[in-house]
Amino acid sequence: MKAVGVIGEYNPFHLGHEYQLQEAKKLAQADVVVGVMSGNWLQRGEPAIIDKWTRAEIALAHGCDLVIELPVHYAVQSADFFAKGAITLMNALQVDALSFGSDLPNFDYQAFGAKYLVLEDKLAIEFQKAGQTGVNYPTQMRQIYEKFDLAYFDANTPNHLLALSYAKEVAKQNPKMDLIAVNRVGQGYHEIEMKKIFASATAIRASALAENYEAIKSFVPKETADQLKKNQNLSWEDFFPLLQYQLTASSPEQLTKIYQMTEGLEHYVKKGRAVKSFAELMAILKTKRYSYGRLSRLLCAVLLQITKEDILQQEDFLQVLAFNKTGQSYLKQIKKELTLPLIVKPSKQQKNLLALNQRSDAIYQLQNGHEQVAGRFPVQK
């Protein structure tokens, strides 16, 4: 069976995602679509609006044949580390091609990855120099990529920027994996009004959090619309009291153990003790040096108590969230050649691998109200 991989967060799953899955399968001429999906905590350092099991089930109903979770130690990382984790899993799952949405579908991502690999050592030196000047990472990328004539770079094209990270990792891990860009149609990533055929996930979340469910119906599958209406839709504000507790109870010395707590940020984030909302905290903390994403991921690590040691010690694994008969057949095909542990119903040994994930899920469950760990097994169709 020929497999195409798709990486997503589906926060929430909408018609644009369904279109991408259909196009990926068609363009790759694949028999099976393998999805690697973030769990309950996402790349921008925020909770998913709907839990991972529900999102995986909806993805399974609308184009994915197999959904594997991107573990939390990769899911709440910056683009390069997020991509590293996702491609590591895709490579282990032996997909023939990787497909992704792009704002620049005609860009040659395969050639970019090859060129980046040749320049990697020089680029590492340039990024180190730029980091010492206090320039934030997106600005570093733009300046350095322009200097080396590597790629068109625009901070308003987040799908393209993430695709560049995928291309770099594919070049490092498996250059034979084909890269297939699907034109991202409809609204821009950050647009908050729903005017076009495919609305952005940002716009859909905004309507859901405002309980404007009628506005959503035309832009999402029925299952997504039903879940958004039925469940509590979560955002950072729901978890802010828990974050504020951690910031209040933890000493600066304890905070220094948190992943990516550097440059004296343990004192800086303590400002969270005196504000009334997550939005207010971010308004105080955000600067030219520290982007929203960087700070939000750091605060997510504080909330989930993810330490530097956790990241160093964490091993990779393949946790199955959902599969249909086609996905099941594909797993049987590759099972004997897998290089990472496959987790369907966790054994005692595998539960140690899942400890960080399960702790993060248990914290999500405090506000979600639905069991995320005990007795949860893959959705089957």
- Cβ neighbours of 18 (radius 10 Å): 20
Q: Is the peptide bond between 138 and the residue preceding it cis, with omega within 30 degrees of 0?
A: no
- Count, residues in the chain: 381
Dump the DSSP string for 70-93. E-HHHHTS-HHHHHHHHHHHHHHT
Residue 204: strand, helix, or coil: helix
- On whether the CB atoms of residues 8 and 35 are closer than 8 A, the answer is yes
What is the Cα–Cα distance from 269 to 6, expressed in whole angstroms?
Answer: 35
Dump the DSSP string for 167-202. HHHHHHH-TTSEEEEEE--SS-TT--S--SSS--HH
From first to last of the 381 residues of the chain, give the pLDDT tens digit: 999 999 999 999 999 999 999 999 999 999 999 999 999 999 999 999 999 999 999 999 999 999 999 999 999 999 999 999 999 999 999 999 999 999 899 999 999 999 999 999 999 999 999 988 888 888 888 899 999 999 887 767 888 989 999 999 999 999 999 999 999 875 444 455 555 578 889 999 999 999 999 999 999 999 999 999 999 999 999 999 999 999 999 999 999 999 999 989 999 999 989 999 999 999 999 987 888 999 999 999 999 999 999 999 999 999 999 999 999 999 999 999 999 999 999 988 888 899 999 999 999 999 999 999 999 999 999
How high does pLDDT run on average in the chain? Answer: 93
Q: Residue 372 gets which letter from DSSP?
A: S
Q: What is the pLDDT of residues 197-233, one digit of tens each?
A: 788 899 999 999 999 999 999 999 999 999 999 999 9
Token pair for residue 199? Answer: 């609305």
β-pair partners for 183: 102
Q: Residue 41 gets which letter from DSSP?
A: B
Residue with tokens 């990926």: 24
Q: Which candidate, 176, 201, 180, 181, places its Cα nearest to that of 191?
A: 201
Query: What domains appear along the chain, each with residue ranges and CATH number?
Result: 3-106+182-233+315-380 (3.40.50.620), 236-311 (no CATH)
CA distances from 99 to 184, 201, 228 (A): 12, 19, 27
Token pair for residue 14? Answer: 């909408």
